[in-house]
Structure 1
Amino acid sequence: MYRELMYLHLATVLPCVVLGALLFAMHKGTRVHRRLGAVYMVLMLITASLTLIMPAMVGPRLFNHFGFIHLFSFLTIYTVPTSFFAIRRGDVREHQIGMIMLYCGAIVIAGGFTLMPGRYLHGLILG
């Protein structure tokens, strides 16, 4: 079961790596930006939800399940809707800050943690 969840997680997060970078690089506010942004936000929420089901395998755990890595899941579940509603009410700055925090925290930092020794991706990629 864990392996299947991990593959689902990878299937939702890997497109976000590319989409997020693309969204940062493209002109803001266009129809394409809004549509790709919506896909990005939905995929990030799915990713965060999946990770909450997956137990931490490295480091200390709370309730024998949650690890420090799960903090990024909660960051995502908070940041996606607040950033969405910020842009809906015209608060571009709050939206930008939220999206930068989300990408840096949930993609770059959490993604970096997946390459630590003892993690599945570390063994898969760095063998």
Structure 2
Amino acid sequence: MTLLPFLTAPLPIQVHIIAAVLALILGPVALYRRRRDRTHKVVGYVWVAAMMVLAIGSFLIPSHFTPIGIGPLHGFAILTLWSLWTGVKAAIARDIDRHEAILRSLYSNGLIIAGAFTFLPGRTMNLMLFGAPSQLGWLVIAVLLGLVALRVIRQHRARWGWA
């Protein structure tokens, strides 16, 4: 593991990674803490700001999948901005169940699923973790997506008749 790929990456990628790490760390505090007090509110505001920086900043990182520089992961950025808007709007309207559902889904889908694909061979996170472009990134992606799938199955098994 080495920080050199991060330190030599363009500024938009560095800001994107910092915002992602901040959002990953703060997310559980804001989303899964039992008490909904001032700490929840302050951490939540910082988490929403980090997610906004993450999503907006992603448009400064070109995709290599298309000639116009906008790729499939940019769809997650659009979904993130929409989810932040509707999640915060639900909190303002005191629809706490909807607020909670939207932002928890955003954490797992927006950060974990989209974040898994940052380990594609040749990408900065792959280089940081493995030191060279490595096919082991596919293993990281499979494990992260497998964990999300297990969470979804656990949440919905009764609804699907698997209880």
TM-score with structure 1 setting the length: 0.89
Q: How far did residue 92 of structure 1 move?
A: 1.1
Match of 1:34 among 37, 41, 62: 41
Instruction: Check whether the contact 2:26–2:43 (CA below 8 A) recurs between aligned residues.
Output: yes
Alpha-carbon contact 1:20-1:40 (below 8 Å) kept: yes
Say what the alpha-carbon RMSD is for the aligned residues: 1.4
Q: Which residue of 2 aligns with 1:96?
A: 100
Is 2:117 aligned against 1:113?
Answer: yes
Do the aligned residues in 2 keep the contact of 1:27 with 1:33 (CA within 8 Å)? no
Residue by residue over 1:2-53, the C-alpha shift from the partner in whole angstroms, topping out at 9 and shown as x without a partner, is: 6111001111111110100222331242111011101100111111110012
Q: Distance in 2 between matches of 1:115 and 1:28?
A: 34
CA contact (8 A) 2:30 2:41 kept: no
| Runs of at least 4 residues off by over 2 Å | none
Tell me which structure has the larger Cα radius of gyration.
2
Give, in whole Å, the separation in 1 of the partners of 2:16 and 2:35.
28
In the alignment, the residues of structure 2 paired with residue 112 and residue 10 of structure 1 have an alpha-carbon distance, to the nearest angstrom, of: 13
Is 1:10 matched up with 2:17? yes
Match of 1:85 in 2: 89
SS of corresponding position for 1:45? helix
Identity of aligned residues (%): 24
| Residue 73 of structure 1: aligned partner | 77
Q: Which residue of 42, 48, 54 maps to 2:55?
A: 48
Aligned partner of residue 64 in structure 1, secondary structure: coil
Distance across 1 between alignment mates of 2:51 and 2:57: 10
Contact 1:83 1:94 in 2 (8 A): yes
**Structure 2 alignment gaps of length 5 or more:** 1-8, 132-163
Q: Deviations over 1:67-119 (max 9, x none)?
A: 11111100111011110010111111211121122101221011110011121
Unaligned 5+ segments in structure 1 are none
